[in-house]
Structure 1
Amino acid sequence: MPPRRSRQPEPGPARTTGAAAPTWAGAAADPTPAEPHPPSVPAVPALRARERPAAFRRLWRFYLPLAASDLLMAASEMAVNAGIARLAAPDLSLAAYGAVIATCLLIESPVIMLLHAGNALATHPQALRRLQQFTLLLAGALTALHGALAFTGLFDLYFRRTLGLDPALLAMVRPAFAVMLPWTAAIAWRRLHQGLLIRHGHTAVASRGTVIRLGTLATVMAVTGGALNLPGAVAGCAGLAAAVTAECAYVYGYARRWMNRSGWTRPVEATPQPAGREGRAGAGSPSAPARPVPAPGTAGPPAPAHAATLSWRALLGFYIPLALTSITTFAARPVLTALLARAADATLALAAWPVVWSTVLVFMLPMRTVEQVTIAHGDRDGGPSDPVRGFALRVGLGGAAAMALLAATPAAGPYLTVMVGVGGAVAAAAKAGLLAMIPVPVVVALASCEAGRLVRARRTLFIHAAAVANVAVLAGTALLVRTLAPASPGTRIAATALIAAYLAEWGVLARGARRAAQAPAGPEGSPSQDGGAQAMGAPGT
């Protein structure tokens, strides 16, 4: 009987087993990395020319579902602006909404990284319970702060004296800000459980929840603004508060069903199930058991079934640096609001800027997803042959080209007047801001690539430094432009300052990535150094 011939492998990057297998930073060798990260592109000095198309296809398959979720997230802010523009007192309402949402995002900023915490730390039931306790304490404190700002003398101190809003705006800001009271708590609880679900392979929940959010937003705005004839800012904020609450209820209900079926509600630690059983249930079903998950900061093998107890000290050591970065980043919006309120065309600029920013988010948020592609697939040295660097450049140029097609062509007119519903001076100011912001997608894509490389190398200090540089350059540039050209439109001042801020952020991240490529990686398993490694959702709310 002739000897049996072995089956030849298909072309493409080879998988190996045992000690020779390619590994991730801080991970043991494993031939089949667990989802949600697909198999990583091998970290080799150069990819052969015939392997590059396959590498790019792999990157696109990873990127597109996450980018789609980001687009839906950006659509919710566009929907609010379009709805407000069609309700009573649109110009005043848009200006009031811009001030309210900037403040709400700043209050909410410490809970944004709960997505990272749930994804990286929720490895067993005790860790999840500790995270839930932490979330309740953090969300409760921030909700109390929101209530104090809304219902005490702090309202006048912050909105009138600090932001410099005029009395007509303040009268509309007060009720709009009050109805946003559930905002932070709903987002905190939802992001924690989204992180848990993403870690265990249920990535479709994020996009489904966003669809529920959009539907609730449209319904509540139609009722409050149309039937009840409330001011546009109040109707928009009521819609947002109801939308994030509905999304939270859906995600938590899904997570509860998954935990019940997976044994996470019992006082025993969950044991990862074999991949075969997971495959029958499907990653999109609550009946699917917990799949093996990557170790924090890697795209590699699963964590131990019985992980060590998550202490308060370890949790705070992980979370505080991430929260500080988030707070620094979100501080930019109140800074911009204060600068716009002092521009020569203050009311017009405050009305036009939410339209500009919500449009830019549609093109910018998918660029932030490049960070997740780099974390899962990038080479640590980031050389010119690294496919992720080329991928980031292509994505960024594509985003900038798409934005130019909207802002720099006749399509801008119908978009602003028909889709968004603004006209006259507000539309002209918004178009000026959009034209100035065209370079933003490519700068953000390249900066996100460098940030992902820093996370892989566990050099996250540079990420915080980049956020500080962003806000500092934003404020400094805006003040400089306003001093040198005091008659400049507010939207143009804000756009110029933002581009300078993103360039500064990119510069700090690029320098950090170069230094990280020349140094050994950080200590394995240090949770405070790989906080962003597991963030699969969009940066945002």
Structure 2
Amino acid sequence: MTGKDKLNSARIFSFWLPLASTWLMMAIEGPIMAAVIARMAEPKINLAAYGVSFSLALIAEAPVMMLMTTATALVNGWRSYNKLLNFSAILGLLMSALMLLMVTDIPYRILSSNILNLPENVAAITQTAITIMLIWPAAIAYRRFYQGVLIRYRQTNRVAAGTILRILSSSSVVLLLYKFSVCSGAIAGAAALSAGVLVEAISVRVMASGIVTRLKNNTPEDPPLDYMEIVRFYLPLGITTFVALSIHPVVTFFMGKARMPLESLAVLPVLNSFTFLFKAMALSYQEVIVALIGKDSRGYRPLLVFSWQLGLVMSLIYVLVITTPLYSFWFQGVAGLTPELASFVFMPALLLLPVPACAVWLIWERGMLLKAKRTRFITHSSIIELSVVVLTLFILIKYANCIGAVAAAAALMIGRIAANIYLIIPSLKARHFILKQTGPPGEVKNSA
């Protein structure tokens, strides 16, 4: 094996960077929306309404998120393409219909007043914002399916191009509404997000047209694929994503019952967007682990080294931001929070200090389980994380009388650590299984 063929941190970095840039572009969308809303009229109320509507939209989006992974794995020809396209369309339209039901008067009144305990002015704006976002689940289902097709046929650069178009579209819409419209900030944010996902869905379909034509005309008959097989493959992945994305709406539910609810609801979207920048870097590394570990698993050791490097660098950047003047630059200058709210969010941000390291740790554990095809443990860990978050919030708010945002940060961190700890043994067993099948870890041939 020549030095050129050896897998090292530099080669891993060059493979990871395009995937990370795609996730980073998605991660900056939230801060852009929050920053513009913070500069519009009644920022506290509108940031709170935007945060609630976005969290509820995530619940509707959750069941369609793993369509990209499913398409990547199962599209092998024209028949499987059509079966999965139909499955994606049905699932997306079903979730949009359920979202529509959620914002009709009686169900929404129960949700906003009895469950979320939202202030009346926040509830009214939130209802309109959710209505504007009804297109989300269907458009995202369509987009994720075609992103999976592009990845399956090695057109990942086009996935990144679609994300660029989405960010440009959503940013343009929110800035235009900020400059030339009298609509509230939450409404502007919802309209911008809807426009962005619609543009991205259309663009990835156009960019996949060549692949679709080849599937129709040039590929041999693929193995039979029925809808029950798709459901069996998809259900565990869908449950995992649904549980994971339900965490933030659950946190929102508890904020209405905590001390300083309006301030907490106002800063949570900003705080979530900030921490997601670090989580996104870890999430993008999952595909790198699966792709570069190799059939003989000789990429294990250099990938493990890079995981440590990534976790350390991201943790240092987090510390640098929250302990230097960069804190004011980000939370006031970029995110647009008032000095009062920027000061209010410091303690929650400090409690979330372990986020970068825990995110990389979790992705490493998941990578081992994915390689060993033991994905049920990933679902278990998500359920444990959600359960611990709920229990911690209940204790801190009901018995410790904590400020909402502080309780939220503590609960999110404790829940994530619980998920990490649960996966230690399954991931170590998966690692043992992988290395037993392939021999001792070392270096991999050209796996990229």
TM-score of the alignment, normalized to the shorter chain, above 0.5: yes
Q: Secondary structure at the match of 1:175?
A: helix
- What is the distance in 1 between the residues matched to 2:112 and 2:71? 34
Give the corresponding residue for 1:11: 3
Q: Which amino acid aligns with 2:369?
A: L
- CA shift, 1:520, in A, is 7.5
Instruction: Write the letter of the residue equivalent to 1:504.
Output: A
The sequence identity of aligned pairs, in percent, is 27
Deviation at 1:391, TM superposition (A): 1.3
- Among 335, 341, 344, the residue aligned to 1:420: 335
Q: Matched residues in 1 for 2:356 and 2:295: separation?
A: 23
Structure 1 CA distance, aligned partners of 2:2 and 2:242?
48
Normalising to structure 1: TM-score of the pair? 0.77
The answer for the alignment partner of 2:410 in structure 1 is 496
Q: Which residues in structure 2 correspond to 1:307-386 (within 5 Å)?
A: 307-378=222-293, 386=301
Match for residue 183 of structure 1? 136
Q: Which amino acid aligns with 2:403?
A: P
| Greater percentage in helix | 2
Alpha-carbon distance in structure 1 between the residues aligned to 2:11 and 2:330:
34
Give the residue type in structure 1 aligned to 2:284: T
CA distance in 2: counterparts of 1:118 and 1:482, whole angstroms: 42
Are the equivalent residues in 2 in contact too, given 1:388–1:449 (CA < 8 A)? no
In 1, the alpha carbon distance for the partners of 2:331 and 2:398 equals 30
Which stretch of structure 1 is more off in the superposition, 488-497 or 232-241?
A: 488-497
Change (3 A) 1:475 1:383: farther
1:248 corresponding residue in structure 2: 201
Measured in 2, the distance between the counterparts of 1:385 and 1:133 equals: 38
Residue 223 of structure 1: aligned partner:
176
Contact 1:380 1:456 in 2 (8 A): no
What amino acid sits opposite 2:262 in the alignment? T
1:431 is aligned, of 324, 346, 364, to 346
Structure-2 change in CA distance of 1:206 and 1:56 (3 Å):
same
Structure 2 residue identity aligned to 1:186: A
Distance 1:210 1:490 in 2: 33
1:378–1:453 Cα contact (<8 Å) kept: no
- Count of matched residue positions in the alignment of Structure 1 and Structure 2: 438
Q: Deviation digits for residues 280-305 of structure 1, max 9, x if unmatched?
A: xxxxxxxxxxxxxxxxxxxxxxxxx5
The aligned residue for residue 117 of structure 2 is: 164
Give the CA deviation at 1:424.
2.9
Q: Is the 8 A contact 1:56 1:391 kept in 2?
A: yes
State the distance in 1 between where 2:294 and 2:307 align. Answer: 13
CA 1:203–1:383: 2 relative to 1, 3 Å: closer
Residue 92 of structure 1 aligns with which residue? 45
Deviation at 1:385, TM superposition (A): 7.3
Structure-2 separation of matches of 1:325 and 1:11: 40
Trace 1:261-340 onto structure 2 (pairs within 5 A).
262=214, 264-266=215-217, 270-271=218-219, 306-340=221-255
**1:489 offset after TM fit, Å?**
2.7
Query: Residue in 2 aligned with 1:515?
Result: 429
| 1:485 CA displacement | 2.6
Q: CA 1:204 to 1:485, structure 2 compared with 1: closer, same or farther past 3 Å?
A: same
Q: 1:467 pairs with 375, 379, 382, which one?
A: 382
Residue 73 (1) aligns with residue 65 (2): no
CA contact (8 A) 1:340 1:491 kept: yes
Change (3 A) 1:154 1:483: closer
Shift in Å, 1:373: 2.1
Question: Contact (CA 8 Å) 1:112, 1:188: kept in 2 or not?
Answer: yes
CA deviations on 1:25-81 (whole Å, 9 max, x unpaired) are: xxxxxxxxxxxxxxxxxxxxxxxxxx6xx4222211221111111100001111110
SS of 2:8's partner is helix
- In structure 2, the gaps of 5 or more residues are 438-448
- Tell me how far apart the structure 1 counterparts of residues 323 and 298 of structure 2 sit (CA, whole Å): 34
The one-letter code sitting in structure 1 at the alignment partner of 2:276 is L
Matched, 1:62 2:15: yes
Shift, 1:438, TM fit:
1.6
TM-score computed with the length of structure 2 as normaliser: 0.93
Match 1:141 to one of 62, 75, 94: 94
Distance across 1 between alignment mates of 2:129 and 2:300:
51
Kindly provide the CA deviation profile for residues 4-39 of structure 1, in whole angstroms up to 9, marking residues without a partner as x.
xxxxx73355xxxxxxxxxxxxxxxxxxxxxxxxxx
Structure number with greater Rg is: 1
CA–CA distance in structure 1, aligned partners of residues 143 and 391 of structure 2: 36
Return the offset for 1:354: 0.5
3-state SS of the aligned residue for 1:438? coil
Aligned to 2:444: none
Question: What CA distance in whole angstroms lies between the structure 1 residues aligned with 2:345 and 2:295?
Answer: 40
Q: Is the 8 A contact 2:55 2:249 kept in 1?
A: yes
Q: Distance in 1 between matches of 2:80 and 2:393?
A: 44
Residues 1:410 and 1:484: Cα distance change in structure 2 (over 3 Å) = farther
Residue from 124, 128, 145 that aligns with 1:192: 145
Q: Is the 8 A contact 1:453 1:513 kept in 2?
A: yes
The answer for the alignment partner of 2:158 in structure 1 is 205
Q: Distance in 2 between the 1:197 and 1:55 partners?
A: 27
Contact 1:115 1:191 in 2 (8 A): yes
Structure 1 CA distance, aligned partners of 2:433 and 2:279?
31
Structure 1 residue 457 corresponds to structure 2 residue 372? yes
The offset of 1:433, in angstroms, is 2.0
Change in Cα spacing, 1:517 to 1:217, as seen in structure 2 (3 Å) is closer
Contact 1:382 1:453 (8 Å CA) reproduced = no
SS in 2 for 1:422: coil
Residue 386 of structure 1 aligns to a residue whose secondary structure is helix
Q: 1:335 deviation in Å?
A: 0.8
Shift of 1:175: 0.8
Letter paired with 2:259: A
Q: Could you tell me how far apart the structure 2 residues matched to 1:130 and 1:401 are?
A: 46
Q: Which residue of 1 aligns with 2:75?
A: 122
Deviation digits for residues 458-506 of structure 1 (CA, Å, limit 9, x no counterpart): 11111010000110111112222224431x3322211111111111111
> Structure 1, unaligned stretches of length 5 or more?
1-8, 14-50, 272-304, 524-541
Query: Which position in structure 2 is the counterpart of 1:274?
Result: none
Whole-Å Cα distance in 1 between the matches of residues 46 and 296 of structure 2?
Answer: 49
Return the offset for 1:425: 2.3
